[in-house]
A and B are shown apart, each in its own frame.
Chain A
Amino acid sequence: QLQLQESGSGLVRPSQTLSLTCTVSGASISSDTYSWSWIRQPPGKALEWIGYFSQIGRAYYNPSLQSRVTISVDRSKNQLSLKLNSVSAADTAFYFCARVFDDYADNWGQGTLVTVSS
């Protein structure tokens, strides 16, 4: 059974870098069928797509975050990672990783709350 589990720091200081890892079990992150995505949701607000790592090994980002975000894959650990630098309070959100097929997310992690505060 496919499981995705986010982990990382729950509290980040303003201007620092947010780092999260998504550990995938029950499927290979190297699959040529799926891509792997990060999506976030500020508390009480709507979902925002951050970006994804595609089957062909390329990363695609939301232009609104492109200058600050890096998504990568560690195939040896079956993990997806997210780095978002120069964070501010506006980056406080629940962060979800998800498996994506044909640009819809068919499996999600439970999500992790990241708070940006000094």
Chain B
Amino acid sequence: DIQMTQSPSSLSASVGDRVTMTCRASQSIDTYLNWYQQRPGRAPKLLIYAPSTLQSGVPSRFSGSGSGTDFTLTISSLQPEDFGTYYCQQSYSTPLTFGGGTKVEIQ
């Protein structure tokens, strides 16, 4: 199985801050990387796929980049509604696997 490692595990930032989180795969996954946001008590929501295409309706302050083993999710200007946990997921090979998540808190 391909292992996905996210860092940091949690972060706290202020509204308006630029926030960056990373996801590392245990082997090359080309660009088969997707990002989800999960707010407390809710189902995950697809943000970005492949790994820089924004899902329809997702604000443009979210962006994704990377290839191979190292990927980044950036929020250019953190908003109050961006709190929650962000998960990366590889779609290079089965079993599809998720990272452990980065929890974002608003200061």
A and B interact physically: yes
Give the Cβ gap from A22 to chain B, nearest Cβ, in Å.
Answer: 12
User: Would you give the 0/1 interface string for A105-117, flagging 1 where the beta carbon is closer than 8 Å to chain B?
Assistant: 1111111000000
Looking at B13-21, B70-78, B87-95, the stretch in contact with chain A turns out to be B87-95
Contact B98–A104 (Cβ < 8 Å)? no
Q: Which of A41-49, A70-78, A85-93 contacts B (4 or more CB under 8 A)?
A: A41-49
Question: Which chain A positions have C-beta within 8 A of B91?
Answer: 102-104
In-complex Cβ contact of A48 among B32, B50, B94, B98 (8 A): B98
Alpha-carbon distance between A14 and B37 when the two chains are bound, in angstroms: 32
Chain A CB within 10 Å — which of B32, B43, B45, B98 has the most? B43
Contact B87 A108 (CB under 8 A): no
Q: Are A46 and B95 in contact (CB under 8 A)?
A: no
Select from chain A the residue with minimum beta-carbon distance to B100.
A46
Kindly state the separation between the CA atoms of A84 and B43 in the bound complex, as whole angstroms.
21
Query: A108: which B residues are within 8 A, CB to CB?
Result: 43-45
Query: In the complex, how many residues of chain A place their beta carbon closer than 8 angstroms to a beta carbon of chain B?
Result: 19
CB-CB < 8 A to B49: which residues of A?
A: 102, 104
- Residue picked from A60, A96, A108, A109, most chain B C-beta under 10 Å: A108
List the B side residues contacting A109 at CB < 8 Å: 43
Q: List 13 A-B contacts (CB under 8 A).
A: A47-B36, A47-B44, A60-B94, A62-B95, A96-B44, A102-B50, A103-B91, A103-B96, A104-B34, A104-B49, A104-B89, A104-B91, A110-B43
Interface residues of A (CB under 8 A from B): 46-49, 60, 62-64, 96, 102-111
State the B residues within 8 Å of A (CB): 1, 32, 34, 36, 42-46, 49-50, 55, 87, 89, 91, 94-101
What are the 8 closest A-B residue pairs judged by CB atoms, nearest first? A103-B91, A108-B43, A104-B34, A47-B98, A62-B95, A49-B96, A104-B49, A46-B100
